[in-house]
Each structure stands twice: as structure tokens, then as C-alpha cells.
């Protein structure tokens, strides 16, 4: 069904995004001391799309997030900072916001309140959450519970990571008498412990999200909206040679919004080499919709001049090419190209991006 790109223990269903994820660190020597932390991302992403579902455009810019951190206790950390995002070709900054996070750690569990570890850190499949949110929606506000633990499988030297992420991203607030709706996005991402079966590592993958827009006693003619998305999958991974793997990730994906329903199959195969990644993905969706998902996978158009347009079936074959460089500790560069063939419409399209991430912690 799919033959896909290799992935280490920290992986996603499309390609490995470790080099661009936020890195959590705990240093006992920093206890009771004020620390300076800093993260930034410079990016250029070009989408060359010519269909009636998704717009083509280019995103080019950077964002900065300097922070001051303090650990009053070995289980508690507090961060306060500022966020600024600049898009080239526009005057001033596109976004300026304060950031604040309080984090409580208990063994391998972490609870975050304030600015949470969002976008690609959720490790959601792209039909449910677009990779592009890394640059278009880098900040998420709310609460989050995370669990990450890497162990060695019994009677072997094979390492495995269990991953759990439950979050609430509060996107917009309202109050009685206002005309705007409140909206939030609640999600779950879970990678189960693996089983070793005749040299193959097998694990279950569960993802889901709820998007809700509404509110009580507000003056809005818009209907209350609740959209539910689910994804159930299985990963089969075979490691070989030195730091190389073949991985197959296959998902059954769902969409529900009374009275509408949609389903999809998302099949992925990867080979990960220490110097690059190569992957193939196939998507077949029927009346599918996910509010935070990549536009290409949707049955209902998001194009600015195609409101009301839809395609009952979406069939897409994607080639994924990734090259990552680690320049120094904390500084990573990722080059990504994703040409695809829109089977239903007989179109070849493509997107590519260059991302430079720096994190001081």
C-alpha cells in the first residue's frame, strides 16, 4: 500500500521534522537562576498550485521569540518573552505579541499553561494539521499535557519512544453582546509503545481533534460549528545498516460535522538516510474536511475566488524530498520539496521551502 521514508524514534507520518521542533531541556544547575532563551525561524515557502481547492502563494520572512526563564523549583519553570513576525514585502511587523508559559514537570510528564508547544510539535498528520502552520500560525495559546519517554524494547537493543500530546488551543474569545464567535481547537496525538515482531517494529497511532466556534449570548448570525477529525494508523518500521530505516505509516482518517461525514485513506512510505529523507504519500479522500489541515487534502475549496466549490473525491500522490543540516548546536537548516500529482484533475503541482531554525536554551 505504501513504501515510505525512514524515521528515527521521533517521527511524524510525512517526514521527520525533529530539526524544526521545539526542544525542551532541563538543567538542574539553572535552578533558582534567571536564564535567557531565544528561538527564531527564517523561512521561505513557495506553493505553486493551480487547482480550485488551494491557493498558490509564497511566504517569505522570519520570526523572533526572546525569553527570560526562571526555575523556582526542579519541577517548575516560568518563561516570559516577546514574539515578533516579519513578512518580507510588507511594512512593519505582521504580528507582535507577549509570550508566557508556566510549566510543571513530573517524571516524563509535562503540563504547560500559556503559550504551548504547538504546530509541528503535535506530530499530527498533515491532512489534520498543515506543516505550514509552523510559519503561518507559530503561536498557540492554552493548556497542554505531554508525555515523552524513550526506552529500549525488551530483549533487544532497539530504542522506542512513546509520545502523548493533549492540548487546547484557544484561538479567539468573545463575551455576551459581542458579534464575534469564540473558537478553540482541541487535539490528541498518541504514539503507542512498539512491539518487536520478527525484526519489525510495530506501533499504533491515534490522532484526533475538535474545532468549535460558538458562544453564549452573543449577537452573531453565524451557526454554531463543531468539527471532529480522527485518524487511526499503524506504523511498521525496519531499521537496517547504520541509522537507516524503512517505515510504512497507514491511516484511516475521518471527518464528522452533523449532518456531514467524510472519510479518507492516507498511506505513507519512507526511507531515511543519515544525509537525506525520501518519501511517498498517497491520499484518497471522500468529502473530507479538517479546519487546520493542509488545503490540498480538503474536499471543500479554500481558494479566495472559489467559495462554494467542492470535489467529492480528492486523490493525490506526493513525493517528499528532505535535506537537513545541523550547523552547530541549536542551529538547523531544512530544505524540503514536495511535488505532487492531482489524480482527479490530472495536474502536476509542487511546493518547496527552506527553513533556518535557531534555538538557545
SS3 sequence, 139-171?
CCEEEEEEEEEEEECCCCCCEEEEEEEEEEEEE
Specify the pLDDT at position 287: 97
Burial of 352 (0-12, 13-18, 19+ CB in 10 A): middle
Specify the pLDDT at position 8: 32
- The length of the chain is 361
Residue that has been written with the C-alpha cell 511524524 in this structure: 12
Query: Could you list the pLDDT tens digit for every one of the 361 residues in the chain?
Result: 333 333 333 334 467 787 788 887 777 788 999 999 999 999 999 999 999 999 999 999 999 999 999 999 999 999 999 999 999 999 999 999 999 999 999 999 999 999 999 999 999 999 999 999 999 999 999 999 999 999 998 888 888 999 999 999 999 999 999 999 999 999 999 999 999 998 899 999 999 999 999 998 898 889 999 999 999 999 999 988 778 889 999 999 999 999 999 999 999 998 988 888 999 999 999 999 999 999 999 999 999 989 899 999 999 999 999 999 999 999 999 999 999 999 999 999 999 999 999 999 8
- How many other β-carbons are positioned within 10 Å of the β-carbon of residue 265? 16
Asked if 15 and 277 touch (Cβ cutoff 8 Å), the reply is yes
Write the DSSP symbol of residue 173: -
Asked if the peptide bond before residue 64 counts as cis, ω within 30 degrees of 0, the response is: no
Specify the pLDDT at position 159: 85
* Cα torsion 211, 216, 220, 224: sign: positive
For residue 200, give the nearest of 152, 232, 233, 248 by alpha carbon: 248
Angle at 111 between CA 228 and CA 8, to 5 degrees: 75
Backbone φ, ψ for residue 121 (5° rounding): -65, -20
Specify the pLDDT at position 25: 75
* Cα torsion 94, 18, 252, 149: sign: negative
C-alpha cell at 274: 543519515
C-alpha cell at 27: 538543567
Asked if 54 and 38 touch (Cβ cutoff 8 Å), the reply is no
Asked if 302 and 54 touch (Cβ cutoff 8 Å), the reply is yes
pTM reported for the whole predicted model: 0.92
Asked if 54 and 340 touch (Cβ cutoff 8 Å), the reply is no
CA distance 152 to 241: 19
Q: Return the CATH fold of 18-360.
A: Porin (2.40.160)
C-alpha cell at 346: 490530472
CB neighbours of 224 closer than 8 A, spacing ≥ 6? 181, 212, 213, 214
CA distance 189 to 184: 17
Specify the pLDDT at position 14: 64
| Residue ranges of domains in the chain | 18-360
Specify the pLDDT at position 43: 98
C-alpha cell at 261: 461525514
Asked if 205 and 220 touch (Cβ cutoff 8 Å), the reply is no
For residue 336, give the nearest of 353, 312, 319, 313 by alpha carbon: 353
Amino acid at each position: 500500500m505504501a513504501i515510505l521514508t525512514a524515521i528515527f524514534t521521533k517521527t511524524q507520518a510525512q517526514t521527520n521534522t525533529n530539526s524544526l521542533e521545539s526542544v525542551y531541556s532541563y538543567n538542574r544547575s539553572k535552578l533558582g537562576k534567571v536564564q535567557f532563551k531565544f528561538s527564531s525561524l527564517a523561512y521561505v515557502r513557495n506553493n505553486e498550485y493551480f487547482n480550485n481547492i488551494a491557493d498558490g502563494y509564497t511566504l517569505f520572512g522570519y520570526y523572533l521569540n526572546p525569553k527570560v526563564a526562571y526555575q523556582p523549583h526542579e519541577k517548575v519553570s516560568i518563561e516570559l518573552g516577546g514574539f515578533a513576525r516579519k513578512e518580507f514585502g510588507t511594512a512593519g511587523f505582521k504580528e507582535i505579541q507577549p509570550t508566557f508559559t508556566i510549566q510543571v514537570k513530573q517524571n516524563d510528564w509535562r503540563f504547560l499553561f500559556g503559550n504551548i508547544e504547538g504546530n509541528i510539535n503535535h506530530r499530527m498528520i498533515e491532512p489534520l494539521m498543515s506543516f505550514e502552520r509552523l510559519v503561518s500560525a507559530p503561536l498557540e495559546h492554552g493548556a497542554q499535557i505531554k508525555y515523552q519517554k524513550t526506552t529500549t524494547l525488551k530483549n533487544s537493543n532497539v530504542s522506542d519512544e512513546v509520545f502523548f500530546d493533549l492540548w487546547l488551543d484557544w484561538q479567539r474569545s468573545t463575551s455576551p453582546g459581542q458579534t464575534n464567535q469564540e473558537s478553540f481547537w482541541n487535539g490528541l496525538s498518541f504514539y503507542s509503545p512498539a512491539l518487536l515482531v520478527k525484526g519489525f517494529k510495530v506501533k499504533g497511532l491515534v490522532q484526533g481533534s475538535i474545532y468549535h466556534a460558538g458562544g453564549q449570548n452573543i449577537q452573531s448570525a453565524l451557526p454554531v460549528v463543531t468539527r471532529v477529525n480522527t485518524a487511526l494508523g499503524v506504523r511498521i518500521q525496519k531499521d537496517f545498516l547504520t541509522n537507516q530505516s524503512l517505515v510504512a505509516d497507514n491511516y484511516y482518517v475521518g471527518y464528522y460535522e452533523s449532518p456531514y461525514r467524510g472519510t479518507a485513506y492516507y498511506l505513507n512510505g519512507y526511507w531515511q538516510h543519515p544525509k537525506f529523507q525520501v518519501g511517498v504519500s498517497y491520499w484518497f479522500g471522500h468529502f473530507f474536511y479538517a479546519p487546520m489541515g493542509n488545503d490540498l487534502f480538503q474536499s471543500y475549496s479554500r481558494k479566495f475566488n472559489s467559495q462554494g466549490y467542492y470535489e467529492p473525491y480528492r486523490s493525490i500522490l506526493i513525493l517528499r524530498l528532505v535535506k537537513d543540516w545541523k550547523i552547530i548546536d541549536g542551529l538547523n537548516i531544512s530544505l524540503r520539496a514536495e511535488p505532487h500529482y492531482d489524480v482527479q484533475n490530472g495536474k502536476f503541482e509542487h511546493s518547496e521551502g527552506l527553513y533556518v531554525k535557531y534555538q538557545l536554551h
